[in-house]
Structure 1
């Protein structure tokens, strides 16, 4: 019976804005270790085809809510544990580690380090060796430098935004890894990789695969993948709210025939460049005042508004008070008989303690927000009636709802994204019965999108400001679309063959 290959699982994931004053600490990664990792992913559990084909060994994975730059101490602490656990796996295996699933996002910024995921994998390679086959799965909003591509043997990313193929992508990365490791010895070989830098850097809200041209662009991926000689094709939009040279779009195609992978990589890159003028926001946009005016005029209910500049799932701090201050200043919402508005959300640790101590039905005055990001507006003093209190949320820890006039403000112990209907109903709020729902988000996640009778994207300030030019990038490669509208010459978009990971860089 053929020997089952030993495959380790490791990785750190955090989408981080270098334009936010927030910092991401080690506990935010909620690390999973050993068997906890196998329990997280059903497709590698015993009894499944992949689980049967290999011996999966968990090292450590950590997936943090997007936020500010990761502290150096957090990175070093988690990395040290990853390396230690990988060394233990090797020492407890007669054959060492045959493969590694590198479970990352790809847009993690760390204090004092550029290209954090490549640095993490470089250190991992010291432990597992150059011969170990590494397969990485990523978010399409991650960044693939040449060095990261060099350190991996297989690398792929999501094909939908919003991300509805997260698990499918991770499973594909693992399936390709197993196929290579379990092939006949005479057939086992590392696939060829070609990498193309595309000088485009756009926010996710302009590259949703629900709409053209991103929809058509990503529909080309499975066509390329079906080509003889191609194993996998991937397009990274890149992450727009960090400022490193690696922040730009990339195409990577892997396979067994150089002409097939190079030709198709160039095809994807050229199409991406060709349609650059056609990218637009996934919804009508305007200032927050514009969006509120339109929502009040509209008969569509509920009308959703994205407070996009402080989106905590893109890297915003989540505690910018600017948007809520505008909502509460509207005269239409000052009385309980006004249009019902839900605002999600604002963190306020001391405010939550005060509200929870007072209890439902009581009137309280608290101060919340701007504990981290007070660049655009300071803390808000809020007086209202306690509508709901909920304990034990994984992200928020404690959630409270304060009714101020006709506005139901969700206040949290720690920041939290609101993506699901249950996020509201568990707080005794019915978003379908509300007139206006303001959520700190970019494009609407699937459940919100289905609930919204209409919606607009408010171009608000914050660490993930949709107006990229006013953020002040300094380290990205220029020229870069749309920062630069004219180029001295057309980009070559020439596919570059990336050396195998066991070759010299």
Structure 2
């Protein structure tokens, strides 16, 4: 059988002024695209001709500029038309892509892909659990699932399940499964729905149990994407299979479990203002002490150049005098990096940093210190570290998340031997989670502000929890699509 591979994947905050375009996406075709998926070499994939069409993937950011979306989506449709006969399509998307001036970009793309493939080619869709599943998207594709872990340690495993489900379904000759779909009027940030803690841990454990039942092909719960303002943004459940009564019953069970737990979801770590978190860290003996600078998290859609936290850190005497050591990661500012390169390692520098894309919380902040290191990074481009007393500020020429110990050691920094490590992140990714002797989540401003009520949603469908905490019980009857 011949199965195509295509998609566009990005998580887009409509509250971030960043705009994602060609420079943000890693677009692959041919063998380079196939290399994204090691699991295509597994035994279950034997006998399949995988047809790489085109796929674009980006670090989360702001909305995608319409011209780039139109160009890449048109190429997907064109390549479908010239690919020859296909039995199926592995459709690898995120589910929270926003496009400037459009709504429900994934449904638009899926509908166009369906039209190009015709009604009989089976489409199997892989998604992030922070994506959104509108009825239009659910109806345009045949199989659809998402990750079951946040942090997304099962991301590639979920993609493999998506492709394997497609292959096995085609081999079975059973045709397209039924999908029991229902939206749940709850919209929560990922930092309140981590599967490391309850109630998400139990809900997603139950998802796996249901997916393994006879008569069920797969099951999924999407928490939705909290930092986009579109009608599709809310939680959703899809259970797929051939036993209509069973999948309807199980979709109802999962939707009700999510709804009933809506007020029980809590932040994955204790929270506070930045100064509350820093003061607690300085008074603690736990080292290293990690603080999530959550409002400008680039892996949730933040612009990556908000300077507000750096400005506040520079006002804390213990850090600027070197009484305590700290790392702040990071701010994207190519001009500031260029100034550091010109100054040279070991030399003094005074430069305005950040606040040039997302300048709402704070404009550029003047940093006067010493150039500690300059390094070439495969993701962040040229990276400069500026030292002010005990504070090391990481400045990148391209937006980059800091999730791994090697991200720091490459720069000559050792987070394990640093008092405070402040990272633009929400829940800690595994290496940082294991590193932290203690951890707090700072509620800082930015395009992915954890305080949803102050962001200003006005296009989401109301009533919606937590915007309407006293809303009436919703109708959670699934629809078979």
Task: Name the counterpart of 2:332.
Answer: 347
Task: Name the counterpart of 1:194.
Answer: 180
Task: Name the counterpart of 1:123.
Answer: 112
Task: Name the counterpart of 1:269.
Answer: 255
Q: In the aligned structure 1, how far is the partner of 2:116 from the partner of 2:378?
A: 33
- 1:386 lines up with 2:371 in the alignment: yes
Q: What is the deviation of 1:126?
A: 2.3
Q: In the aligned structure 2, how far is the partner of 1:343 from the partner of 1:79?
A: 37
Match of 2:132, SS state, is: coil
TM-score (norm 1): 0.94
Task: Name the counterpart of 1:454.
Answer: 438
Task: Name the counterpart of 2:349.
Answer: 364
Q: In the aligned structure 1, how far is the partner of 2:63 from the partner of 2:36?
A: 26
User: Conserved in 2, the CA contact under 8 Å of 1:221 and 1:234?
Assistant: yes
Task: Name the counterpart of 2:227.
Answer: 241
Structural mapping, 1:457-476, within 5 Å: 457-476=441-460
Match of 1:378, SS state, is: coil
1:492 corresponds, among 472, 475, 479, to: 475
TM-score (norm 2): 0.99
- 1:103 lines up with 2:92 in the alignment: yes
Task: Name the counterpart of 2:70.
Answer: 76
Q: In the aligned structure 2, how far is the partner of 1:200 from the partner of 1:169?
A: 24
Task: Name the counterpart of 2:161.
Answer: 172
Structural mapping, 1:289-308, within 5 Å: 289-308=275-294
Q: In the aligned structure 1, how far is the partner of 2:424 from the partner of 2:25?
A: 21
Task: Name the counterpart of 1:214.
Answer: 200
1:63-119 per-position Cα deviation (integer Å, ceiling 9, x unaligned): 1010001000110111121122222212xxxxx011000000100000121110111
Task: Name the counterpart of 1:503.
Answer: none
1:10-35 per-position Cα deviation (integer Å, ceiling 9, x unaligned): 00011000011111012211101122
Q: In the aligned structure 2, how far is the partner of 1:215 from the partner of 1:326?
A: 35
Q: In the aligned structure 2, how far is the partner of 1:240 from the partner of 1:351?
A: 31
2:191 corresponds, among 195, 205, 223, to: 205
Task: Name the counterpart of 1:502.
Answer: none
* Runs (5+) with no aligned partner, structure 2: none
Task: Name the counterpart of 1:480.
Answer: 464
Task: Name the counterpart of 1:409.
Answer: 393
Q: In the aligned structure 2, how far is the partner of 1:367 from the partner of 1:490?
A: 51
For these two proteins, the number of residue pairs brought into alignment is: 481
1:214-262 per-position Cα deviation (integer Å, ceiling 9, x unaligned): 0011010111112221110000000000011100000000001101100
Q: What is the deviation of 1:130?
A: 1.4
Q: In the aligned structure 2, how far is the partner of 1:8 from the partner of 1:163?
A: 25
Task: Name the counterpart of 2:302.
Answer: 316
Q: In the aligned structure 2, how far is the partner of 1:334 from the partner of 1:155?
A: 51
Q: What is the deviation of 1:451?
A: 0.4
User: Conserved in 1, the CA contact under 8 Å of 2:114 and 2:141?
Assistant: no
User: Conserved in 2, the CA contact under 8 Å of 1:227 and 1:260?
Assistant: no
User: Conserved in 1, the CA contact under 8 Å of 2:45 and 2:164?
Assistant: no
Task: Name the counterpart of 1:93.
Answer: none
Task: Name the counterpart of 1:13.
Answer: 9
The CA RMSD over aligned residues, in Å, is 1.0
Provide runs of 4+ in structure 1 moved above 4 Å.
none
* Runs (5+) with no aligned partner, structure 1: 91-95, 499-505
Task: Name the counterpart of 2:419.
Answer: 435
1:146 corresponds, among 130, 135, 152, to: 135
Q: In the aligned structure 2, how far is the partner of 1:485 from the partner of 1:158?
A: 28
Q: In the aligned structure 1, how far is the partner of 2:352 from the partner of 2:313?
A: 16
Q: What is the deviation of 1:477?
A: 1.1
Q: In the aligned structure 1, how far is the partner of 2:274 from the partner of 2:424?
A: 12
Match of 1:107, SS state, is: coil
Q: In the aligned structure 2, how far is the partner of 1:40 from the partner of 1:333?
A: 42
